[in-house]
């Protein structure tokens, strides 16, 4: 899609959706759910197989229920994410919050000017969760993203994610940005989504949801290089359109842990988050497309 096509046709539609009130947005999401689940069947085989492999103890009826719950939630997240383009801080904070305990935990680091690595997964509404830091805390957040191939959509998402402030950088520019911030003595929260699929040969391998799973080691390498504490931020869906984030300290001293331990621990925290609310993780992602390499 070209730049002008996006500006003329797509952006006005996205903007129109973003200004709709939630009482209209969710019926639209219901209609979209009907289309992608019953008519298009978007990645339905992938979702069902992922669920069966992850929860072998669950019956066909249970898997079917979680599958439908996931697709309803997935459609909600799409419309909620578009809503971020125009939502006010006050309205977002009514619907997405940090728990009191999470605020206390994070402020222990922030009050002493400590940079941290904050890790989330594709749980609940991760886009709301990622931007919420900018609503709650004065400490700068440096959000890490992978540029989209479509430059127009990429620009739209960048504007959406940074509209309350913050510092959004690509993974390739992250280390340089951290060094610049350290030289200027500006503490930051480095925001990472750590449940994507890495190349198998460069990954940490563990058992996650009953399956051999590669894990990006970027979180661990980053934390150890700068000795930044690592905090996992679980996201819980309270009800439709309402979410709450917690804060679990993985380690305060990354350099003291053995190689692989940080990756294991934040992956374990994500697994517990998913098991608590299995319908609200991104099951359509082909998370297990790689096999563990066989050592010679």
Q: What single string gives the DSSP state of each residue in 133-156?
A: HHHH-SSEEEEEEPPPSSHHHHHH
Token digits for 145?
């993203």
**Contact call for residues 271 and 287 (beta carbons, < 8 A):** no
Closest CA to 285 of 263, 270, 264: 270
Name the burial class of residue 95, with classes exposed (0-12), middle (13-18) and buried (19+) by CB atoms within 10 angstroms of its CB.
Answer: buried
Phi, then psi, of 216 in degrees rounded to 5: -60, 135
**pLDDT for the residue 39:** 97
Quick one: which of 154, 274, 267 has its CA closest to 219? 267
User: Strand pairing of 211-215 and 204-208?
Assistant: antiparallel
What is the predicted pLDDT for the residue at 216? 93
Q: Which residue has the tokens 């940079």?
A: 115
Q: Residues 266, 267, 270, 276: is their CA dihedral positive or negative?
A: negative
Compute CA distances 170 → 146, 176, 232, 262, whole Å: 6, 11, 21, 22
Pairing relationship of beta strands 188-193 and 140-145 according to DSSP bridges? parallel
CA 284 vs CA 107, 120, 171, 182, 213: distances in Å: 35, 17, 23, 38, 16
Rounded Cα distance between 125 and 164, Å, is 17
The pLDDT of residue 1 is 60
- Report residue 96: phi and psi, to 5°: -140, 125
Among the listed residues 136, 24, 17, 122, the one whose alpha carbon sits nearest the alpha carbon of residue 74: 122
Q: Do the strands 235-239 and 204-208 form a parallel or antiparallel pair, or are they unpaired?
A: unpaired
Which pLDDT score is estimated for 7? 79
Q: Which two tokens stand for residue 6?
A: 């996006």
Q: Answer whether 83's CB lies under 8 Å from 18's CB.
A: yes
Q: Closest by alpha carbon to 167, among 158, 176, 175?
A: 158
pTM over 0.75: yes
Separation between Cα atoms, residue 11 and residue 77, nearest integer Å: 18
Residue 285 corresponds to which tokens in the numbers above?
């992602």
Q: How does pLDDT run along the chain (296 residues), one tens digit per residue?
A: 677 787 788 889 999 999 999 999 999 999 999 999 999 999 999 999 999 999 999 999 999 999 999 999 999 999 999 999 999 999 999 999 999 999 999 999 999 999 999 999 999 999 999 999 999 999 999 999 888 888 888 888 888 888 898 899 988 899 999 999 999 999 999 999 989 889 888 899 999 999 999 999 999 999 999 999 999 999 999 999 999 999 999 999 999 999 999 999 999 999 999 999 999 999 999 999 988 887 65
């Amino acid at each position: 899609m070209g730049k002008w096509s996006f500006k003329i046709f797509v952006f006005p539609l996205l903007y129109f959706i973003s200004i709709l009130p939630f009482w209209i947005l969710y019926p639209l999401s219901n209609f979209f759910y009907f289309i992608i689940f019953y008519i298009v069947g978007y990645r339905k085989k992938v979702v069902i197989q992922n669920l069966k492999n992850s929860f072998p103890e669950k019956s066909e009826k249970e898997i079917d229920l979680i599958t439908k719950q996931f697709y309803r939630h997935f459609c909600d997240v799409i419309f909620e994410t578009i809503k971020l383009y125009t939502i006010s801080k006050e309205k977002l904070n009514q619907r997405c919050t940090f728990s009191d305990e999470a605020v206390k935990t994070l402020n222990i680091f922030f009050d002493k000017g400590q940079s941290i690595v904050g890790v989330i997964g594709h749980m609940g509404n991760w886009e709301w969760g990622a931007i919420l830091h900018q609503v709650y805390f004065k400490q700068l957040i440096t959000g890490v993203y992978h540029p989209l191939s479509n430059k127009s959509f990429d620009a739209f998402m960048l504007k959406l994610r940074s509209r309350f402030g913050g510092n959004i950088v690509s993974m390739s520019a992250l280390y340089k940005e951290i060094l610049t911030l350290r030289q200027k003595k500006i503490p930051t929260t480095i925001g990472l989504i750590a449940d994507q699929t890495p190349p198998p040969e460069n990954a940490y391998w563990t058992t996650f949801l009953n399956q051999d799973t590669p894990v990006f080691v970027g979180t661990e390498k980053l934390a150890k290089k700068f000795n930044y504490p690592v905090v996992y931020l679980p996201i819980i869906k309270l009800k439709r359109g309402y979410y709450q984030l917690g804060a679990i300290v993985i380690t305060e001293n990354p350099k003291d842990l053995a190689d692989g331990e940080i990756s294991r621990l934040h992956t374990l925290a994500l697994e517990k988050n998913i098991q608590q609310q299995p319908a609200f993780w991104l099951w359509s992602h082909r998370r297990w497309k790689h096999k563990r390499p066989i050592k010679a």
